[in-house]
Amino acid sequence: MRIPPKYKITSDIVKIISEIDSYQKLFSNLDIPKILKEKIQRTSLLKSSLYSARIEGNLLTLDELRNTKKTIAKTEILNISKAYSHLEKVKNIKIDHKFIKNIHQLVLNKISPDAGNFRKEASAIFNEAGIAIYFSPIPERIKEYLDTLIRYIYDDKEKFPLIKAFITHLIFEKIHPFIDGNGRTGRLLVSAVLKLEKYNISLMIPFDQYLDNYKSDYYHYLSEGLKNPEAYLIFMLNGYLQESIKIAEEIKRNLNKKETLYLTPRLEEILNTIKDHKIVTLDFIKRRFLKVPGRTLRYDLKKLQNLKLIIKIGKTKGSYYTSLSP
């Protein structure tokens, strides 16, 4: 396997990267209120985790994730979320065998006994019909190939961080170093390379949703990536661009809605609960937030009243709350 594969930086590739860079500059220069930025980051982290798991067949929805008891499906998503959070917190990132194993350990924690261990048996990638379409390298060559990939990551010949990140993902999936969890780990590796290159430092771009929406294309371009890396790169870059545009639109939309600038995650969830159910009582809110003390919830409701986002009707225990905005 040639690492990296031969690829050309075409005019189409440069054009897409230029568009993405313009959004990166926008995110860096825009005066985004801290609470709004944190909200967008939380949403991006959740989306990346949810859709990265969905690409692999996890069908849990956002509502089910919030309300369901712990299952393997929920653990899969929470594990990815913890891995992304871990990446965010690491200050001086060092990508090596230990780092890759650690990410995999986080991804498959409490799911697989092979978490954090390179495979020791032959592996193949199968299509939907169960036919092997790619045979992964033998286990004895995994460390050798990963060493070559890591040298590419740290080589400064490739000047475009996004290209380096996506080529890294492509090669990692071809090496297929683990029995399971390669896709989830490989997509996390994209974020790791971008962080190493000090790219995408303003806001996380959750492009896993795009990959899930176009899953068959994603698998196609991954499959053909070594033969036609330019087409693979254009697909991945387009996904990153589309999700960057969505983030920019979300920022604009939220900046025009003053209410979102003042709300903590719990306050926002309480407000959305009231909006969804039109009229609610304190007892109803308590049942939705079982781990939050009643006194704290009363304080939260009072704060929403002071912000003129909800009103309280009645003065007795039978009083209820309704939203002032649709």
pLDDT digits (tens, 9 = 90+) for 71-116: 899 999 999 999 999 998 998 999 999 999 999 999 999 999 999 9
Determine the Cα–Cα distance for residues 317 and 284; give it in Å rounded to an integer. 12
- Cα–Cα distance, 261 to 36 (Å, whole number): 6
Of the residues 228, 255, 282, which one is the last residue of a structural domain? Answer: 255
Based on the fold, state whether residues 149 and 115 are members of the same structural domain. Answer: yes
Task: Examine residue 6 and state whether it is found in any structural domain, yes or no.
Answer: no
Q: Is the pLDDT of residue 246 over 80?
A: yes
181 annotated ligand-binding residue: yes
Q: Are residues 153 and 55 in the same domain?
A: yes
Distances, alpha carbon 217 to alpha carbons 12, 142, 213, 225, in Å: 19, 27, 9, 12
Helices 11-29 and 161-175, packing angle to 10 deg: 110
Confidence of residue 259 (pLDDT cuts 50, 70, 90): low
Candidates 209, 173, 264, 222; CA nearest to 49 is 209
Q: Which of 206, 221, 255 is the last residue of a domain?
A: 255
For residue 242, report the phi and psi dihedrals to the nearest 5 degrees: -60, -40
Q: Among 230, 255, 280, which residue terminates a domain?
A: 255
In a domain, 3, yes or no: no
- Are both 91 and 162 inside the same structural domain? yes
Q: What share of the chain is helix, strand, coil (3-state, %, to 5)?
A: 60, 5, 35
Tokens 């979320």 correspond to 81
Is 141 part of any known ligand binding site?
no
Tell me: is residue 185 an annotated ligand-binding position.
Answer: yes
Same structural domain for residues 123 and 154?
yes
Confidence of residue 260 (pLDDT cuts 50, 70, 90): low
Mean pLDDT of 267-282: 89
User: Catalytic one among 86, 176, 220, 277?
Assistant: 176
The answer as to whether 2 is a domain residue is no
**Would 219 be classed as within a structural domain?**
yes
Of 219, 167, 177, 218, nearest to 6 by C-alpha is 167
Distance CA 102, CA 115 (A): 9
Closest C-alpha to 173, from 216, 128, 123 = 123
pLDDT tens digits along 135-172? 999 999 999 999 999 999 999 999 999 999 999 999 99
What is the per-residue pLDDT for 200? 74
Q: What angle do CA 232, 234, 236 make, to 5 degrees?
A: 70
Q: What is the pLDDT of residue 262?
A: 62
In this structure, is residue 17 part of a structural domain?
Answer: yes
314 appears as a binding residue in the annotation:
no
Distances (CA, A) of 155 to 7, 114, 224: 16, 31, 24
**Pair 131, 204 in one domain:** yes
The domain in which residue 150 lies consists of 11-255
Q: Say whether 277 is catalytic.
A: no
Same domain, 223 and 288: no
Q: Decide if 207 contacts 240 (C-beta within 8 A).
A: yes
45 and 91 share one domain: yes
Mean pLDDT of 119-126: 88
How do strand 320-323 and strand 132-135 relate by DSSP bridges?
unpaired
Does 5 map to a domain? Answer: no
Same domain, 15 and 98: yes
Residue 306 maps to a domain = yes
Position 111: which residue type?
I
Provide the number of structural domains found in the chain.
2
Listed range (69-73, 119-123, 317-321) with the worst mean pLDDT: 317-321
CATH number for position 313: 1.10.10.10
pLDDT tens digits, residue range 294-320? 899 999 999 898 888 888 888 767 788
